[in-house]
Amino acid sequence: MLIKHYFINKIAHSSYILAGSDACAVIDPQRDIDVYIKEARELGVVITHILQTHMHADFISGHMDLAEKTGAKIYVAKMAECTFDHVALSEGDTIEIEDIDIKVLETPGHSPDHLCFVVVDRARGDEPVCTFVGDTLFVGDVGRPDIFPDIAQELSGKLYHSLFDKILKLPDFCEVLPAHGAGSLCGRAMGAKWRSTIGYEKKYNAALQIKDKTEFIKSLTDYMPPAPDHFSRCNEINRKGPALISQLPRMKELNAKTFKEMIENENVAVVDTRSYLAFGSQHIHGSWSLDFNGNLPTFAGWVLPIDKDLLVVSDSFKEADETNVWLRRVGQDRVVGYLDGGMSAWVTNGYKTNQVTQISAEDLHEMVTGSEKFVLLDVRAKQEFEDSHIEKAVNIPVADLRERHIDLNKDDTIITICSSGNRSSLGVSILSQHGFKNLYNVAGGMSGYSAAGYAKRCAVCQNPHGSRYYSRIEEVKMHFNQ
């Protein structure tokens, strides 16, 4: 038996190949599936099984493409009521691949349809060697139950029983192989390791120290980071079966003239993936600032319109092509073109651009301590803001600006800040779309401001391998240990 692990940064997704001598299964595949086909070819095995622990919410899965290209069967929970061709699984079912037994546990909690796959390698012994736990149990954390907000309390209770009555009954030496790691919004404070053991998590996972069911449920309904808009959308797409990659529109190389004509005449949105500094220097009016080096897929899935075709502005074709892959991973399937030659081509054609002044931490501090009137808009998540912020700053999380821009006065001078400059640049782009003019962005964000000695360093910056959307770490640890 051989297990191969694959990890996608930004969305922090783990998938796996479980291989015997001649056949293998792919567990929780990513949408771009060539990596598994290549690996199977190199291992000399055939992909015969595609196993889904659940219908994922934070990304579009590759089960349909993988089945179409390999002929493998898709195995999913009967509870998921999927509408594509599949093998429906329930508690107690066993999948056999040569001398490997994969036993099915129904483990609702993170989602109503969640399964865990417990693996027994009969060539070595009769006890479980590992379990693919999906989003039920993580390294240092457990799955969040509030992706389905209407039944979050019910799912929290089911998660308690899935963990304490099923998963934690497995042998202490059994390996834990989750579907996500640090940085994913499917949990709250995951560790950076990709795998663990049942015994280690029982002893050191803070969430598992809460044995009282009522307190456990309470711990999972407090302090949760916001769930992005695309979570419910991706879940439903996965349940129905995503469109095959081969059926999606091709991203065309567009010269500046054609690009401009499409903006003027068609139902399109422009996504600018250059650095926030480049965006501030020159950008096309109305474009969305989504720095490729930031968490592009999460915010693309979260804020970009789903009813428009997308045009990409990047520093190179390679970056534009990779942007298309990232967007498809979160269900943004309507990328139809990119600006050939980038902003250089745009400006050499004499077309109009907008600018955003970037200010440093020193500049901001002089303004904060001076007499100039302005609004300091902190676009970080609520938990980050509460951990550390500048006095009199107004907190509106960046995704909320799509509606809450009406809370601000268009005549005010507005300075946006986040942890680095990426999200605040996105915030500027949203406000600009709604007619705001006097906009500034803080380069370096709160990281630079605290490094200059003007504020307490935020816990997010002190925990670089943890979730970027969760900062009240010490507070929740105290809550867990009460």
Sequence-distant (≥ 6) Cβ neighbours of residue 115 within 8 angstroms: 52, 53, 54, 76, 77, 89, 104, 105, 106, 107, 134
- DSSP designation for 103: E
Dihedral in degrees, nearest 10, Cα atoms 87, 89, 94, 100: 60
pLDDT at 190: 82
pLDDT of 482: 44
- Nearest residue to 65 via CA among 237, 186, 225: 237
pLDDT of res. 225: 73
> pLDDT tens across 210-242, in order?
999 999 999 888 777 778 889 999 999 999 999
Please write the tens of the pLDDT for every residue from 330-358: 999 999 999 999 999 999 999 999 999 99
Long-range contacts of 148-156 (CB under 8 A, 24+ apart): 148/111, 148/112, 149/227, 151/112, 152/220, 152/221, 153/217, 153/221, 155/108, 155/109, 155/110, 155/111, 155/112, 156/109, 156/216, 156/217, 156/220, 156/221
Look up tokens 């095995």; give the residue. Answer: 45
**100 Cα distance to chain centroid:** 32
Tell me the two tokens of residue 454: 């003007």
**What architecture does CATH give domain 357-480?**
3-Layer(aba) Sandwich (3.40)
Q: What is the pLDDT along the chain (482 residues), one digit of tens a residue?
A: 999 999 999 999 999 999 999 999 999 999 999 999 999 999 999 999 999 999 999 999 999 999 999 999 999 999 999 999 999 999 999 999 999 999 999 999 999 999 999 999 999 999 999 999 999 999 999 999 988 888 889 999 999 999 999 999 999 999 999 999 988 887 777 888 889 999 999 999 999 999 999 999 998 887 777 788 899 999 999 999 999 999 999 999 999 999 999 999 889 999 999 999 999 999 999 999 999 999 999 999 999 999 999 999 999 999 999 999 999 999 999 999 999 999 999 999 999 999 999 999 999 999 999 999 999 999 999 888 988 999 999 999 999 999 999 999 999 999 999 999 999 999 999 999 999 999 999 999 999 999 999 988 876 555 443 444 333 334 444 444 44
In CATH, what is the architecture of 2-237? 4-Layer Sandwich (3.60)
What is the 3-state secondary structure of 344-374? Answer: HHHHHCCCCCECCEEECHHHHHHHHCCCCCC
Domain 248-348 top-level CATH class: alpha beta
**Confidence (pLDDT) at 224:** 73
Predicted local distance difference test score (pLDDT) of residue 117 = 98
pLDDT of residue 152: 87
Tell me, yes or no, if the two domains 2-237 and 248-348 fold the same way: no
Cα 303 to Cα 89, 153, 313, 443, distances in angstroms: 35, 27, 17, 22
Residue 91: how many other CB atoms lie within 10 Å: 13
Q: What does the alpha-carbon distance between residue 31 and residue 41 come to, in Å, rounded to a whole number? A: 18
3-class DSSP assignment, residue 16:
strand
Report the 10 Å Cβ neighbour count for 170: 22
- Mapped onto helix, strand or coil, the DSSP state of residue 477 is helix
Q: What pLDDT is attached to residue 272?
A: 98
The pLDDT value recorded for residue 191 is 83
Domain residue limits, the chain: 2-237, 248-348, 357-480
How many residues are given for the chain?
482
Predicted local confidence at residue 96, as pLDDT: 98
User: What is the pairing mode between strands 128-134 and 115-121?
Assistant: antiparallel
The one-letter code for the residue type at 149 is P
pTM: 0.91
Q: What is the pLDDT of residues 366-413, one digit of tens each?
A: 999 999 999 999 999 988 898 899 999 999 999 999 999 999 999 999
